Amino acid sequence: MKVIASWSMIYPHLSLHAPEGVRLVAPTKNIAYYISSHGYGHYARSIPVLNELVSDFNVHVKSEIPQGFFTKRLKGDFKYWSQSVDTGCMHSTSLTVDSEETFRNFKEFQNHSLIEAEKMWLKENQIALVLSDVASMPMKAAHDLGIPSILIGNFTWHDIYTHLTGAEEHKHLLQVLEEEYRCADMHILPQCHLPPLQIKKSMEVGFLAQKGQDIRKKLEQYLGISFAGKTLVFIYLGEHGTRSVLWESLSQHEDCLFFTRDPIKQSVLGLHILDNQFDFPDLIASVDVVCTKGGYSTLSSAFASQKPVITCERNDFYEFEAIREYLLKTQTGVIIADEDFYHGNWHGAIKTALSLTVKDKVPLNGEIEILKIVHQMLS
């Protein structure tokens, strides 16, 4: 049987059915997926969504996250474009936002807006749908061209910026940001989200999570020790967060073994610092408890592997309001006071976390729901 891309593409002026022996195949549609490079959380939760999309569409990824990160994780072909798509927050530590520097960067980004150039790119690449986690600029560019767009995020930068110190002085910038977000045709809200902006449509979906494999035996062989009778704890605080914790305190937890890929300089009994041959999702799937600064992607990977979490208060992060409420409502994690967290007084929290159950408490597989939404929008 002969196959052609589209009968109407060859004879656009005729309204004809396919001739006998010819099967019509609709051309694969082009999708642009924009990903914030503010940390790696937006990238991490975009991977399961992208892996659903690359099988059915021509996917263009736009981000400053290095291409190799996507090449390693994606199970299909995609096109990569290195580009700054938003500014996120500037930090003095992993738990503290520098409001003044954040607004300065945001203002500079808005002043050098590339929306017109983006519109040209969208047209040149015949983009049929725009998705963004969680940049606002692509929503505006798509809207101006009449291209449908989907915002993916449990928060927006508008949510965060409006609660920073000095926000009152930047009302115009915040208004522009809100208007760009409102250009989206749909806001997809992964679990654990803030109240959404009044975008045309919104839909809640399950967690977006990279799911890992249990590699306990591999870790035992690699480290040359037995894990028998020990509670395994995975730690992820990020580069800045490691400077705030009294790591020597962990040696007091003799019934625990701690694992991390954070760049901790100290040598502490019972703390094992691993390199990138071990993937984050696999390490999370291999322990009993996850101790984290409360970022979305770490929480979602923990829940996907049915692991309870321990975190600290993050008073400078408005996003944490939703995380706190979710952990308390579902009883899937423990929140430690900052002082105890920084001093490594985790023993009571670990004991409490071990008594919690995660299985069947949280919706997962949000990426499958997103794939269905995309097909519906493009049908």
Helices and strands per DSSP (H, E), number in the chain: 16, 17
pLDDT given for residue 24 in this prediction: 54
pLDDT given for residue 15 in this prediction: 39
pLDDT given for residue 7 in this prediction: 32
pLDDT given for residue 9 in this prediction: 40
Distance CA 198, CA 182 (A): 7
Helix residue ranges per DSSP H, the chain: 7-10, 41-53, 67-73, 99-111, 115-124, 137-145, 157-161, 171-181, 216-223, 238-241, 280-285, 296-304, 320-330, 338-342, 347-354, 366-378
pLDDT given for residue 182 in this prediction: 97
Angle between helices 99-111 and 171-181 (to 10 degrees): 60
Q: What is the mean pLDDT of each run of 10 residues along the chain (379 residues)?
A: 38 45 72 95 96 98 97 97 94 78 92 88 98 98 98 96 95 96 98 93 97 97 98 87 86 97 93 96 98 92 98 86 96 94 94 97 98 97
Q: Are 151 and 139 in contact (CB under 8 A)?
A: yes
Ordered domains of the chain (ranges, CATH):
30-209+365-378 (3.40.50.2000), 216-354 (3.40.50.2000)
- Distance from CA of residue 329 to its chain's centroid? 22
pLDDT given for residue 39 in this prediction: 85
Structure tokens, 93: 């530590």
Q: Quick one: which of 37, 82, 38, 41 has its CA closest to 60?
A: 82
Distances (CA, A) of 124 to 12, 44, 51, 308: 21, 28, 24, 47
pLDDT given for residue 95 in this prediction: 64
Q: Which residues pair with 335 in a beta bridge?
A: 311
Structure tokens, 182: 């409102």
Distances (CA, A) of 145 to 14, 46, 131, 140, 266: 27, 25, 15, 9, 54
pLDDT given for residue 330 in this prediction: 97
Q: Are 10 and 31 in contact (CB under 8 A)?
A: no
Q: Which residues pair with 24 in a beta bridge?
A: 4
State the burial class of residue 211 (Cβ atoms within 10 Å of its Cβ: 0-12, 13-18, 19+). Answer: middle
Q: Quick one: which of 342, 273, 345, 347 has its CA closest to 94?
A: 342
**Backbone φ/ψ region at 166: left (φ over 0), alpha (ψ -120 to 50), beta:** left
pTM of the model: 0.91
Distance CA 373, CA 379 (A): 10
